[in-house]
Structure 1
Amino acid sequence: MINKNLEQQAQAIFKSWFLDYKPFNGVRPIDWINGTIDDLAKEVVCGKTPSTKVKEYYGSDVPFIKIPDMHGNTYVVTTEQYLSNYGAASQAKKTLPPNSICVSCIGTAGLVTLVASKSQTNQQINAIVPKDKYSPFYIYLLMQTLSEVINKLGQSGSTIVNLNKTQFEKIKAIIPSITDMKTFDALVSPLFALILENQKENIRLSSLRNTLLPKLMSGELDVSNLDL
């Protein structure tokens, strides 16, 4: 609930700046340009699954993001499956730096998350590595506003959504000035830092609960003498 409120605050600031132009007297600045997702990105990375026949590719080193890992999360902090360093190195160009923006483009399309640490994804996800000096949080919030567009573009008359990398890169996007993006980033980055820390703390608490609860239930951990 706390993280939801924090993200809603970030979304409200985004709307004020980039939809209503309130800091600019209700008028879009003339130095903002009409571009595409490709113009925002240093690179757009379409994920790939390393061969499952090579067991050594999988381990516990590098998060391997799939669509279920994205649901309900601002950041992907943990994943159901991990790659080994060896597996990640086998497709090094697919490695994403922190604060890359993942967008699901096949099946359940239009989910958007941020990458918490160096990660890779499967082929159902296109990820935006922001250009230097571009705000990852602007891009993250922008992609959320484009969620329905992504879904519709991927349908193409089919019930199965499949938006390829080329189509994804061509989606129209506003490119604010670097100065305005930096100012916006300074406003919202503390909110996202709190969200990430809260997610990590929730994971730590869940892990502690999962460790202690079986011991309490079995009687292995005796709390009868605690003064509560």
Structure 2
Amino acid sequence: MAINWDSQRIPVRASERKKGPYPYYGAQGIVDYVDDYIFDGFYILVAEDGENLRSQKENVATLASGKFWVNNHAHVISSKPHCNTKYIFYALSDIDFTSYITGSTIPKLSQASLGNIELPCPSLEVQDAIASTLGSLDDKIDLNRRTNETLEAMARALFRDWFVDFGPTRAKMAGEAPYLAPELWELFPDRLDDEGKPEGWKTEPLDEIATFLNGLALQKYPSTGDTSLPAIKIAQLRSENTETADPVSPDIPDDYIIEQNDLLFSWSGSLLCKFWNGQRGALNQHLFKVTSKRFEPWFIYEWIQFYMPEFQAIAAAKATTMGHIQRRHLTESLVTIPPANIMQPANKAIGSLIEQIQSNNGQSRTLAQLRDLLLPKLMSGEISIRDAEKMVEDAT
């Protein structure tokens, strides 16, 4: 079904790579961007080594198109004339690679083992239909992702202009023309105070405008019954996936329950702040659940993101231990707060962008669940293509 192109791979050490526009792929996707390419077309990359071959927390196969470079940690294949490349990708996504890998320390999928994998091979017409059905879901998920990147940039730009750079006030001071609606423009002061912020605005520490609830040591709450909650740790926050999460008892205080769209902030290890887009879970230590009775979540989120580079630098400086920040770093991070008459339109302008991002994330999660449900059923013939197409049409 497939042609192997491994002989064309060329690994390049990080120190020898020149930055450029072309993706440089490793075992689990893009690891860098370089100034040249060795492949141009539509291919499937299959991890050759790495722990993910055993755990399969992420998809072992990746689609790569256009111009790109591949090192020797990923097999490169494409379809033969009677096969559909995207169909092969989905068929590989339904494979348990356990019986094909070798190596007790570092799992490895050899070229020979990859070639021995047997995939269902229906007619090209059926392959095209399955690839199109599942692909439409992935296309919508990718569209949502790209849309969210734009919405995130818009929200970030507005936030920085209004609350960090004080753009409207500085423009008024410089005698520049208004660039906001008249009724909004007139709300901004026309001068800065002695502290350099707009007159009438306040500053408060980050940890006073919001509550930063640290998670529990969830190993003390093992699951003992038929019901459980996934422990949301840094790895789950990063991947938004709880499939491999440790099950813990649901009998924990309500404050430590994580619901969709809760704001989470990992303060050690890989520092990141995200609105949770996974299933209901339990808050593990090293994560803050951030809430506020005074301000909307977007306002807290944007201020954390503003200080994130500083927080990450503090954590990176703790090279001998697990990098982290301390409570005092939240106290030292000052937040500029406008009067309510400006906060209200800001909630509408910026908050609506964040709400759209959350809505898109929720839709993408639903679509991914549908894709994962349909994939094995389509491969086995348990569900007809027509029924699957109807389910996808209804969902999208």
TM-score by length of 1: 0.77
1:14 aligns with 2:159: yes
* Residues 261 and 275 in structure 2, CA contact (< 8 A), matched pair in contact too: yes
1:35 aligns with 2:190: no
Whichever residue aligns with residue 3 of structure 1, its letter is N
How much does 1:213 deviate? 1.9
* Residues 64 and 83 in structure 1, CA contact (< 8 A), matched pair in contact too: yes
Equivalent of residue 334 in structure 2, options 173, 182, 187: 173
Equivalent of residue 205 in structure 1, options 345, 362, 367: 367
Of the two, which has the highest radius of gyration?
2
How much does 1:7 deviate? 0.8
How much does 1:122 deviate? 1.2
Q: How do 1:110-129 and structure 2 match up within 5 A?
A: 111-115=272-276, 120-129=282-291
1:218 aligns with 2:386: no
1:77-134: CA deviation from partner (whole Å, max 9, x where unpaired): x6444867xx34433343467765322111112x1112468754211112321132x1
Structure 1 counterpart of 2:238: 71
Equivalent of residue 130 in structure 1, options 287, 292, 304: 292
* Residues 100 and 130 in structure 1, CA contact (< 8 A), matched pair in contact too: no
Q: For 1:216 and 1:128, locate their aligned partners in 2 and report how far apart those are by CA, in whole Å.
A: 42
How much does 1:138 deviate? 1.5
Q: For 1:226 and 1:174, locate their aligned partners in 2 and report how far apart those are by CA, in whole Å.
A: 50
How much does 1:55 deviate? 1.6
Q: Structure 2: state its 5+ residue gaps.
A: 1-145, 172-191, 390-396
Structure 2 counterpart of 1:92: 254
* Residues 135 and 182 in structure 1, CA contact (< 8 A), matched pair in contact too: no
Structure 1 counterpart of 2:52: none
Q: Structure 1: state its 5+ residue gaps.
A: none
Higher relative contact order (CA 8 A, sep 6+): 1
CA distance change for structure 1 residues 221 and 88 in 2, over 3 Å: closer, same or farther? Answer: closer
Kindly report the root-mean-square deviation, in angstroms, between the aligned alpha carbons of the 2 structures: 3.3
Q: For 2:335 and 2:282, locate their aligned partners in 1 and report how far apart those are by CA, in whole Å.
A: 27
Q: For 2:204 and 2:147, locate their aligned partners in 1 and report how far apart those are by CA, in whole Å.
A: 34
Equivalent of residue 46 in structure 1, options 214, 217, 220: 214
Equivalent of residue 106 in structure 1, options 264, 268, 284: 268
In structure 2, the residue corresponding to 1:102 is in which secondary structure? Answer: strand
How much does 1:178 deviate? 4.6
Q: For 1:216 and 1:89, locate their aligned partners in 2 and report how far apart those are by CA, in whole Å.
A: 39
1:159-207: CA deviation from partner (whole Å, max 9, x where unpaired): 431223x234323122313513332111112212211121111121111
Q: For 1:142 and 1:216, locate their aligned partners in 2 and report how far apart those are by CA, in whole Å.
A: 45
In structure 1, the residue corresponding to 2:265 is in which secondary structure? Answer: strand
How much does 1:12 deviate? 1.0
Moved over 6 A (4+): 224-227
Whichever residue aligns with residue 347 of structure 2, its letter is D
